[in-house]
Structure 1
């Protein structure tokens, strides 16, 4: 059984409410008043309810009529959105783009890119997620995201394209008043073994996980994000390696101090990655912008300088 609440009837109902008269609504919709009245009368007959209180001078909705219109406006909005999305998809623009960022890279540059993209294509919904270690490749491999910014290591299989972004430098950092700051550097592993290390848990769901900054034989504090790790180490509750680009503020305000170790941790290569089969315009836009960016060990992901 088809509903009498057609999109056309809802548009007429909306126009009458906004213009406060059948005649004004007819003028807005380029129809004769009798056609508008006929549509509303038939709708009321088909529904078996009164939508308008005709005892008033101006067209006023009944309580039931207000309910129908309020819900109907949501249907009208959804219909308009669907029309836009259909045309958008036909033009090659995705309805949604899911971006996964490794927590070691930071988000400032990604926020800037999203702002630029919204000015160009506001109808594409951006979904932003954060992953740690193998979690970035896992999100892409399991189709939970369309673009990874900050994947480390090799792809887990075939069918991926990658774009090198640069190296993230890691420094061993402790709170400014930590006992390790009073010992001559560089420190051996034995010197730091008695202090808890803060470890970020790998967020991978399906691919084999790995841990970053794990030192054998030591107690650990396991957290789910690099920001939690920074917070704990700044409070003196643990020690460990941190991305240099993410601790610039703490180094400047004196809450963290870099400690040199005999065995240093090498910089980590990071890249952007996506599925070869994805041909969406939104993805292509972000890839093109990333091609003109590089990773600075202190500033994070930045746009290339002219002439570089």
Structure 2
């Protein structure tokens, strides 16, 4: 009867298939070879099909065995996931880690920290959003996310706990073929020089910067809703703007972008901005969130 199938039988079946023989499987399972053979024989009797062709030197999966091996692996994977999730519930581990990241922070670093967290808590699901300016703060205040990464000091809030991670270097750049790039004077450009050209500016999806502009020097602006759009338009030569160093490092090295010779946006056109790991003060972090935070801090060298 199929109802009499056991997880042990299915696990034995998978190990035999992966090991290529009963003897190898018995060593992996730390069981007598006869016990492994008996388990497979019982499984075949219950399923009503032969899983292995035993006529050769080594058992070979039959077509039926190959098809059912997929099902067995799927069942075991789901059971293992269920066990891990139940264990996490018992330990107070979160079912999901929700994270909103400022567009200025490198996602590769976030991904590396999430990978470390998942290696410890594989049952924890991840929900990730990327947002500029006041977006991460809104996400935490409105309880849509557990953790956030914010850049700069403009959106500090007493309800939000902050942990410094790393310094992001913002650099004023322009495409090499843009007039500001082609005709770079030896002298430093002043604000009026930059104001003669279109500035690519990131819009705030929240209302937290309403009535304020950060680093906008030109009356001619092109406002975009995401960082990729800003980067692409600057790279295409539409206008100038500030971008994080990690995003433009290769373009600067290979000559597609050039640094603007201006002190109007920081010395040497460079302005440091601190990045923070943030969460609501009234919502303590669970084990997975703490593990992620520690990994991220270490990766950032904080």
Return the TM-score normalized by structure 1. Answer: 0.65
Pick the structure with more helix per residue.
2
1:272 aligns with 2:272: no
Who is 1:296 aligned against?
none
Structure 2: state its 5+ residue gaps: none
Structure 2 CA distance for partners of 1:151 and 1:32, relative to 1, 3 Å: same
1:199 aligns with 2:225: no
CA distance in 1 between counterparts of 2:63 and 2:48 reads 14
How many residues align structurally? 287
1:199-238 maps to which residues of 2 (within 5 A)?
A: 199-202=201-204, 204=205, 207-208=206-207, 218=220, 220=222, 222=224, 224-225=226-227, 227-238=228-239
Q: CA RMSD in A?
A: 4.7
- SS of 1:260's equivalent in the other structure is coil
Structure 1: state its 5+ residue gaps: 293-300
- SS of 2:105's equivalent in the other structure is coil
Who is 1:295 aligned against?
none
- SS of 2:191's equivalent in the other structure is coil
- SS of 2:173's equivalent in the other structure is strand
Who is 2:62 aligned against?
62
Residue pair 1:175, 1:236 contacting (<8 A) in 2 also: yes
CA distance in 1 between counterparts of 2:300 and 2:35 reads 63
CA distance in 2 between counterparts of 1:62 and 1:79 reads 25
Structure 2 CA distance for partners of 1:78 and 1:143, relative to 1, 3 Å: farther
Structure 2 CA distance for partners of 1:243 and 1:64, relative to 1, 3 Å: closer
Return the TM-score normalized by structure 2. Answer: 0.66
Structure 2 CA distance for partners of 1:199 and 1:24, relative to 1, 3 Å: closer
